[in-house]
Amino acid sequence: MRFLTVLLGLFLWTSVSFAQRIHMPDLFQCLSASADKFEYSMFQQGFVCYKSSGGLNGWTCLFAYHPSPLQQDPSKATAIIQYDRNSRSDVLTYQVRSKEQYELLRTELIKLGYTIDPVVVDRELFTSAKDANTVVSCQPATNATGMSGNYEGYMFTLTHRRY
C-alpha cells in the first residue's frame, strides 16, 4: 500500500510540474508555428484543447493543462494557453498560476535580450531591438484579463505584428 501511495504522489508531482517546463523560447517557437504544428506541440506537452476554430479571417485555439485527468474544468487549469492568428498579427497568451513559473519566464525573457518599456503603468511591456515586431506584456491575471474563468496567476502575452 505504501508503494502505491509513493507511486501516486510521484505521478501527481510529475503532472503538476510538467506544465512548468514550458520556457520562454518554447513560447516564441509556438508563436511562429503553423496551426497544426502548434496543436501537435500542445498535445505533446499534455494540454487539452477546449476550443479551436479557423477560417479565412484567422485561427484561434485554447488549450489548458490539468495536473489530474479527473479535473476537466478550464477554470481550474494549472496553465492555459490561447493562440490567435489573423492577417495582421499572431497573439499567444500564456497564463500560469505559479509565481515561481512567472518569475522564471520573466527572467528568461530578459536573458533573451528583451527590456522593460518604462512608459506602461498597469503591466510590464518588454521589447527587443533584435525583433521590433514582437512585444511581450506581463501582468497579473484579474477578472478583466484572466482566460476561461482563470482569475488567478500571471499572464504573458506575446504579440507578433506582420506589418
Of residues 143 and 106, the one with the higher pLDDT is 106
Q: pLDDT by residue (tens digit) across 15-62? A: 444 445 789 999 999 888 888 888 898 888 888 888 878 766 777 888
Query: Is-contact 33 27, C-beta < 8 A?
Result: no
Q: What is the dihedral of CA 22, 27, 28, 29, to 10 degrees?
A: 80
pTM over 0.85? The answer is: no
Give pLDDT, residue 64: 86
Domain boundaries, the chain: 2-161
How far is it between the farthest Cα atoms of the chain?
61
Positive or negative torsion for Cα 116, 150, 66, 158: negative
Helices and strands (DSSP H and E) totals, the chain: 4, 8
